[in-house]
């Protein structure tokens, strides 16, 4: 059985949780601006750049980086 998943990766179900993001757009490379926005709020499924108006959707699949020692306390994944 094959699928299109990148491994290792996670699938995220955005459930409207609080999020804090620093936003970088394609336009900040055009004139060397270091980031163009920030968002603190409840739920973010898409974001619009305040400079150029481009709209991006957040992915639901993110690649993982394998580490020997994490600076964070890992959670245990449950088998489903
Ligand atoms: Zn932009």
Q: Does any domain span residue 67?
A: no
Measured in Å, residue 54 CA sits from the centre of ligand 1 at: 6
Q: Which residues surround ligand 1, an ion (CB under 5 A)?
A: 25, 27, 49, 51-52, 54
Q: Does any domain span residue 51?
A: yes
Cα(11)–Cα(5) distance, integer angstroms: 9
User: Domains in the chain: how many in total?
Assistant: 1
Nearest to 57 by CA among 14, 17, 4: 14
pLDDT of res. 33: 57
Q: Does any domain span residue 3?
A: no
Q: Does any domain span residue 32?
A: yes
Angle at 23 between CA 29 and CA 65, to 5 degrees: 95
Q: Does any domain span residue 26?
A: yes
Query: Across residues 18-33, what is the average pLDDT?
Result: 79
Measured in Å, residue 12 CA sits from the centre of ligand 1 at: 25
Q: Does any domain span residue 23?
A: yes
pLDDT of res. 32: 58
Nearest to 64 by CA among 17, 6, 18: 6
The verdict on pTM exceeding 0.85 is no
pLDDT of res. 5: 80
Query: What range does the domain containing 49 cover?
Result: 18-59
Beta bridge partners of 55: 48
Q: Does any domain span residue 53?
A: yes
CB proximity list for 48: less than 8 A, separation 6 or greater: 54, 55
């Amino acid at each position: 059985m094959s699928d299109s998943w990148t491994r290792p990766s996670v699938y995220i179900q955005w459930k409207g949780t609080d999020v804090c993001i620093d936003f970088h757009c394609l336009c900040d490379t055009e004139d060397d601006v270091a980031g163009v926005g920030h968002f603190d709020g409840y739920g973010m499924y898409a974001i619009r750049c305040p400079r150029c108006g481009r709209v991006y959707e957040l992915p639901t699949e993110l690649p993982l980086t394998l580490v020997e020692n994490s600076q964070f306390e890992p959670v245990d994944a449950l088998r489903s």
